[in-house]
Amino acid sequence: MAEANRINDVISTGMEGDIALICIDNPPVNATGQAVRAGLKEAMEGLVSEGRAKVIAIYCAGRTFVAGADIREFGKPPQAPGLGDVLSAIEGSPIPVISIIHGTALGGGYELALSTHARVAVEGARIGLPEVLLGLLPGAGGTQRLPRLSGLAFALDVILSGRQVPAKEAAAKGAVDKVMAGEPRDVALKAGQEVIDGTLPTRRTDLIEAEYDRKVIDDTLAGVKKKNPHLISPVKCVEAVAACNLPLEEGLKVERQCFIDCMNTPQRAGLIHAFFGERAVSNIPEAKGDHRPLNKIGVIGGGTMGSGISTACLTAGIPVMLVEVKQEALDRGVATITKNLDGAVSRGKMSADKRDATLALLSTSLEMEALADVDLVIEAVFEKMEIKKEIFEKLDRICKPGAILASNTSYLDVNQIAAVTKRPEDVLGLHFFSPAHVMRLLEIVQGEKTAADVVATGFRLAANLKKVGVLAQVCDGFIGNRILGHYSKVIAYLVLDGASPQQVDDALEGFGLAMGPHKVGDLAGLDIGYMNRQRMKEEGLNPAERYGGVVADRIAEQGWYGRKTGKGYYVYDAGAPVPNEDVAGIIDAVRAEQGITPKSFTEQEIVDRYMTAMISEAARVVEDGTAKRPVDVDMVFLFGYGFPRFRGGPLHYADTIGAAELVKRIEAYAKEDAHYWQVPEILRKMAADGTTFADLNS
């Protein structure tokens, strides 16, 4: 800067002729932490009292404009000055102020831009108000100023979706005034000169009257409540926007109150835990070391999983060699991949040309030898140890030195698979979740001998595929399926002991699950669980364990496999599914045979038992090191199992109950079934120490 004046560590000002520049430099994303707010206030006061500048341009250093308030400050005592006050001072400035947006102007960052008198986006920039995704709402004027600039419908869309709006669309809607090319500082000078020349008009947003339509607001509110019956912040967003017909000062008061209401909810804490958790899982040394190349990937198996994995890799631009044993199976695999990509085209996520180019990255073969030149092979065949061993022996012979050999097994012992090769250091588990091109979780399973750069490559693959990679150690089912295997038993016990399947589904949907477990069973096919239980029976059940599968077995034995047969726990005719009356008869008969007198359970009791079972096994998974930290378990459940994001994950939720209460609950349940309900040692210790799972995350 010609005349640089450092206000503090993150804010500096300077003069270039008649143009004053304010630069925000607060890496990584220029969040409006206390130093930024205080520095901006001081810089504005200085420039206004000096009175030399004809225009003030605010821009940012680094990769982006301000990406929002500093989320790390939330939940802590507020520190002056508040962002709202700083922005009101900017809006009230007698010298016109403009903002130069590059990268992303999000949340409080875009609100800063809204308080200035004109917004210039650098080409490629995006704006957005994503607070709703954090259980909040724009709390520094966004709900009041955006409708004034761009109208109610657009403002409601941006605020409720949290989406990032490209500069071009934002300009068309008046949400930015101009799009220019260049470096932010150069654009600041150019745009500043245009303001002086009168070619870039400026205006105060607070003086614009918002167009107002009560019906749009009422309809939006009704839609929001229907779409997200559990969430508080979308309702509060609409409530705040509804105040945009008041004078700005009054509207800001309503917005402030709505913001505080949201800030005080456990949903806000859960969603912010999810935001940081998503980043924390790969913020570990294991993910960061050297990695091996990923220029070509082999996939063995063209079934649902293999096709989904191939689709994910191809979509990320990685060439795939798909191998199957029979031509028909290969054709089916290619057809599934094509269908997956067509789906992306019809949803507007991919152009037809891009689909063709993506498909051109796929080659196929009936010979494993075709995998000789790939960097990574992902085996996705039946869950049978003998078949996997046979494949890995062959891969060991065929694949080039240094190639990574991965299994998509969902529960088998990766060490045993690795042991059949002469290169166990190159073997790991890459557990995708179905549908693999949609679900974001990837469990990266580290075997005893897996090399460090192979694990790091697993994380690199996750990042390339835009998935959330979570490190897991070997055990039956790794993190997710092991925990699922445990808590799914409590669902059967609840039904045996008195709850109806529908009651269980309703209670858990009320807790936030998108679909109750019996509806999920009907969707997945009840024959699958039945076959698994038969296999387990053949292998020998644990006599100490209560067998809960009797009801499910009898339902499947009727040939009622759920949706695909039109009947399961529910009956699927034309309308909404209704509970299958015959299932009630089966349940009554089983209870009578087992001498069970049915109890009644409240919805809360159902949720408590279900969650306590999930938390118990999750705690053991952390205790024995299968998961590195509680946050890893939480992210597995958010990204792989549809656990409600606003609850943060099972162990974040556990902290809201507290270890002492959980121990008390488990001990009470243990009076009915001491084998199933056992207090994990880690939980007992936490109850004694007064510590939480969150303490183990740091």
| Contacts to ligand 3H9 by CB under 6 A | 28-29, 31, 64, 67-72, 83, 104, 106-108, 111, 130-131, 134, 136, 138-140, 142, 276, 279, 283
626 Cβ contact partners less than 8 Å away, ≥ 6 residues apart: 472, 473, 475, 478, 479, 482
φ/ψ of 246, rounded to 5, equals: -85, 165
Residue 494 burial (10 A CB sphere; 0-12, 13-18, 19+): buried
Q: How far is the CB of 506 from ligand 3H9 (least distance, A)?
A: 33
- Spatial CA neighbour of 333 closest among 347, 318, 343, 323: 323
139/127 Cα distance (integer angstroms): 16
Return the SS3 of 275: helix
CB 447 within 8 A of CB 414: yes
**Alpha-carbon distances of 364 from 229, 294, 417, 538, rounded to whole Å:** 46, 18, 25, 37
194 catalytically annotated: no
For residue 141, the minimal CB distance to ligand 3H9 (Å) is 8
Q: How far is the CB of 64 from ligand 3H9 (least distance, A)?
A: 6
Number of H helices, E strands in the chain: 30, 20
Looking up tokens 């007198």, which residue turns up?
A: 597
What minimum distance in Å lies between the beta carbon of 87 and ligand 3H9?
A: 9
Question: Whose Cβ is closer to ligand 3H9: residue 263's or residue 406's?
Answer: 263
Burial class (CB in 10 A: 0-12, 13-18, 19+), 260: exposed
Residue 25 C-beta: closest distance to ligand 3H9, Å: 14
Cβ proximity to ligand 3H9: between 28 and 51 the closer is 28
Q: Which helix (H) or strand (E) holds 341?
A: helix 327-346
Q: Which is nearer to ligand 3H9, 138 or 302 (CB)?
A: 138
Closest distance of CB 40 from ligand 3H9, Å: 13
Residue 193 tokens, joined: 């000169």
β-sheet bridge partners, residue 615: none
Beta bridge partner(s), residue 445: 429, 472
Instruction: Report which of 292, 301, 291, 313 is spatially closest to residue 400, judged by C-alpha positions.
Output: 292
- As measured in angstroms, the least distance from the Cβ of 278 to ligand 3H9 is 8
**Cis before residue 577, ω within 30 degrees of 0?**
no
In whole angstroms, what separates CA 103 from the centre of its chain?
22
Q: Which is nearer to ligand 3H9, 115 or 616 (CB)?
A: 115
**Cβ neighbours of 511 (radius 10 Å):** 20
- Max Cα distance, the chain (Å): 92
CA dihedral 204, 205, 206, 208 (to 10 degrees): 100
How is 37-52 classified by DSSP, letter by letter?
HHHHHHHHHHHHHH--
Q: Which of 111, 194, 379, 443 is catalytic?
A: 111
3-state SS class at 531: helix
Write down the least CB distance from residue 259 to ligand 3H9, Å. 7
Nearest CB to ligand 3H9, comparing residues 108 and 306 = 108
| DSSP states of 112-127 | HHHHSSEEEEETT-EE
The CA distance from 642 to 433, in Å, is 11
**Quick check: bond before 319 cis, omega within 30?**
no
Whether residue 285 contacts residue 273, with contact meaning beta carbons closer than 8 Å, is answered with no
Whole-angstrom CA distances from 284 to 458, 466, 492, 629 are: 13, 17, 38, 11
Q: How far is the CB of 280 from ligand 3H9 (least distance, A)?
A: 7
Q: Catalytic residue at 324?
A: no
Based on CB atoms, which residue is closest to ligand 3H9, 110 or 570? 110
CB within 8 A of 614, min separation 6: which ones? Answer: 483, 486, 487, 650
Q: Which is nearer to ligand 3H9, 249 or 373 (CB)?
A: 249
Instruction: Specify the residue for token string 């700005």.
Output: 248
- The residue (of 106 and 417) whose beta carbon lies closer to ligand 3H9 is 106
**Choice among 91, 131, 443, 509 that is catalytic:** 131
| 136 or 374: CB nearest ligand 3H9 | 136
Ramachandran bin of 60, using left for φ above 0, alpha for ψ from -120 to 50, beta for the remaining angles = beta
Q: Which is nearer to ligand 3H9, 37 or 489 (CB)?
A: 37
| C-alpha to C-alpha distance for 99 and 114, rounded to whole angstroms | 9
Nearer to ligand 3H9, 39 or 130 (CB): 130
Cα within 13 Å of Cα(234), Cβ side: 20
C-alpha count within 13 angstroms, C-beta hemisphere, residue 602: 3
Closer residue to ligand 3H9 in complex, CB, 276/382:
276
Shortest distance (Å) from residue 235 CB to ligand 3H9:
17
Least separation, in Å, of the C-beta of 138 and ligand 3H9? 4
Smallest gap from residue 299 Cβ to ligand 3H9 (A): 27
Separation between Cα atoms, residue 259 and residue 84, nearest integer Å: 12
Rg (CA), the chain: 29
**Residue (60 or 297) nearer to ligand 3H9, CB:** 60
Min dist CB 276 to ligand 3H9, Å, is: 6
Contact 321, 374 (CB under 8 A): yes
SS3 track for 198-246: CCCCCCCHHHCCCCCCHHHHHHHHHHHHHHCCCCCHHHHHHHHHHHHHC
Kindly list the catalytic residues.
111, 131
